[in-house]
Amino acid sequence: MKLDQVTLPVNNNLLSAYWSGSEMLHNFYEYQLREESYLKRAEYLKSKQYDTKQLSDIILKFMEPYGITEKITENLAYLADGSPVIVGGQQAGILTGPLYSIHKAISVILLAKKQTEKLGVKVIPLFWIAGEDHDIEEINHTYTIYQTEPKKRVYRERNNRKTMASTTEINKVQLKKTIDEIFKDFGETAYTQELYQFVLSSINDSETFTDFFVRCMNSFFKDEGLLMIDAAYPPFRRYESDFFKKIIEKNEKIAEVVVNKEQLLNDAGFGKPIEATLENANLFFVQDGERFLLERVGNLFINETSNIKFAKDELLEIALNNPEKLSNNVVTRPLMQEMTIPVLAFVGGPGELAYWATLKDAFEVMDLQMPIIVPRLNITLISRKVEQLLEEYKLTVEDVFVGKVKELKNKFLESIQDEEAKEQINQLQRLLENQYQKLSTHLNEQQLHLDFIIEKNINYHAQQFEYLKSKIEQQVLLKHDKIIRQFNTLSSELYPNDNYQERVFNPYQYLNIYGPTLISELLELPFDFSNSHYIVRM
């Protein structure tokens, strides 16, 4: 493996401003992204109190069914003693979802290692699974490469209810069919059967999307000691009881400051990432596994469509006795993380960086302090085959990202068109239409009115001419299939669907080629946190 860095055109102004330390962002984040911030934050955490012993016990209980390693046990002990934590998280996607889920976990682990050395205290990596999310359509699919093109493979079991990922049972037969399609697209290698059997075993041992996700993630990171917790895990919800009460007590003020902060962010030119409203309670009520967003109307917390209505005292009672019936949203999730975990830094993507920018004052309302926000690593893997094609066409990775492969392909397709054949067909069509016109004139002179039939014949012949053109074009493309497939391979592997590889494909596509040790090998590379895109040349 060889590690390179490339600087790409700015397509996210907020991220660019954040990396540059722009003064205009100082009002939106507690810390600047610099080394001294970690020492300052670590000192702040020493002044706070967390029940890390209980938290450690909850995480142990959650992770036990998935396999506890010596390294996990060690990190749980450090956590129980109050060690600071690097947190990152993601939804529970099929086969871990897009590669950036893996890149987030790698970022969390590497940052924890780095700060352990810098601060001289053990820093723990923790992955927060957003199992409370109920948009199953976001996590029920993945992409593969099928005949050199990106192919969406979907788990087709549907549920009309807004059930959380952690309570949505998987149809194991249907999921296995999806996995079979995916692995068929991968193709057979020396590693395929081992990976396939592990995935099938994980499906058989899982009941929900979150179960399946955790089994896959733990297989990659258990030897690194990565801790995981599901936001919807009932014992964790009970641990959050008092914190839900605080959110409810200060609910109106939280909404107010978030709306105001988001307006300031918009005025600064960075848009409105969450479209906050004053009425939003920023909490969901969970009923029979479904989540219903609550709004404040007067002194009531309601969801009109589901006929849910609580007075403030009733909601506080639920927080006290049945906190598993409450769930956070994009605003209150970061607040809950801060109240439950000694967070040294939070690792997130560009979208998370944006919505966290609206929350600084909400932290202050809760007598909290926003942690350091660290953009995750951005990584693209380049296979040997792709590397050879880049050399052959004298292209760089940056060229692919800015669309030069598409330009080359379009120029090539234009150059191979059989224009002479098309012109001859056009001449035939014009000749035929002229003859039909003469025939029509003659028939009309004889008072034989068959214009409709003649028009129908002309249209029929036009369709046949188009069919002939398409068949000639197919043969031309087939003749040059090798070169076209090469262009498709470059686009599909490096910039599928005009997006970065890490946002489209799952890790198993690459594990199938390079083996199950790929992720541990990535963890050995000298990544650093910077405003660059990493290229891993395999």
Angle between helices 481-494 and 404-416 (to 10 degrees): 160
Using 50, 70 and 90 to split pLDDT, how confident is the model at 138? Answer: very high
Strands 85-90 and 124-129: parallel
| Distance from C-alpha of 87 to C-alpha of 102, rounded to nearest angstrom | 14
pLDDT value for 472 = 65
- Cβ 101 vs Cβ 90: under 8 Å: yes
Give the per-residue pLDDT at 449. 82
CATH code reported for the domain at 1-271+327-393+501-538: 3.40.50.620
Reported as type and span, the H/E element at residue 288 is none
Residues 363 and 370 sit within 8 Å (Cβ to Cβ)? yes
Q: What is the pLDDT of residue 475?
A: 78
pLDDT of residue 419: 74
Backbone angles phi, psi at 21, to 5 degrees: 75, 30
- 160 CB-near residues (< 8 Å, 6+ apart): none
| pLDDT given at position 418 | 64
Q: What secondary structure does DSSP assign to 152-188, as a single string? A: EEE------S-B-TTT-B--HHHHHHHHHHHHHHH--
Given this model, what pLDDT does residue 476 score? 62
21 alpha-carbon distance from chain centroid: 26
CA 291 centroid distance within chain: 21
Whether residue 205 has pLDDT greater than 80:
yes
Mean of the per-residue pLDDT values of the chain? 94
In this structure, which amino acid lies at residue 463? Q
Q: Supply the pLDDT for residue 213.
A: 97
The angle at the Cα of 129, spanning 326 to 151, to the nearest 5 degrees, equals: 120
- Give the pair of three-digit tokens for residue 397: 């990775």
Residue 275 Rama label (left phi>0; alpha psi -120 to 50; beta): left
Q: Is 170 helix (H, G, I), strand (E, B) or coil?
A: coil
- Return the pLDDT at 296: 96
pLDDT in tens, 5-58: 998 877 889 999 999 999 999 999 999 999 999 999 999 999 999 999 999 999
User: Domain spans of the chain?
Assistant: 1-271+327-393+501-538, 404-494
In this predicted model, what pLDDT tens digit does every residue of 344-400 receive, in sequence order?
Answer: 999 999 999 999 999 999 999 999 999 999 999 999 999 999 999 999 999 999 999
Position 415 confidence tier, pLDDT thresholds 50, 70, 90: confident
pLDDT score at 427:
82
d(CA 314, CA 308): 12
The predicted pLDDT at position 121 comes to 97
For residue 412, the model assigns a pLDDT of 76
Give the pLDDT score at 477. 65
pLDDT digit string (tens) for 399-408?
999 999 999 9
How far CA 112 is from CA of 127, 209, 227, in Å, comes to 12, 27, 12
The whole-number pLDDT of residue 238 equals: 97
Cα distances (Å, whole numbers) of residue 465 to 424, 431, 462: 11, 12, 5
Q: What is the band of 289 on the pLDDT scale with cuts at 50, 70, 90?
A: confident
Does residue 302 surpass a pLDDT of 80?
yes
Question: Using the 8-state DSSP alphabet, how is residue 48 labeled?
Answer: S
Predicted local distance difference test score (pLDDT) of residue 58: 98
Q: How far is CA 34 from CA 88, 118, 165, 374, in A?
A: 19, 12, 36, 10
Q: What is the pLDDT of residue 410?
A: 83
Nearest by Cα to 126 from 164, 82, 167, 72: 72
> Which pLDDT does position 441 carry in this prediction?
87
Yes or no: say if 86 and 124 are a contact pair by the CB < 8 Å rule: yes
The structure tokens listed for 92 are: 């529970």
Q: In what order do the strands lie in the sheet with 124-129?
A: 227-230, 124-129, 85-90, 343-348, 372-375
What's 450-476 look like in SS3?
A: CHHHHHHHHHHHHHHHHHHHHHHHHHH
Strand pairing of 300-303 and 290-297? antiparallel
pLDDT at residue 358, as a whole number: 98
Give 501-524 pLDDT, tens digit per residue: 999 999 999 999 999 999 999 999
Whole-number percent of the chain with pLDDT over 90: 82
Question: For the residues 483-487, what does the mean pLDDT come to?
Answer: 90
pLDDT of residue 159: 79
- Residue 192 has a pLDDT of 98
pLDDT of 451 > 90? The answer is: no
Number of H helices, E strands in the chain: 23, 15
Predicted local confidence at residue 474, as pLDDT:
75
Between the two ends of the chain, the Cα-to-Cα distance in Å is: 5
Angstrom distance (rounded) from CA 281 to CA 297: 10
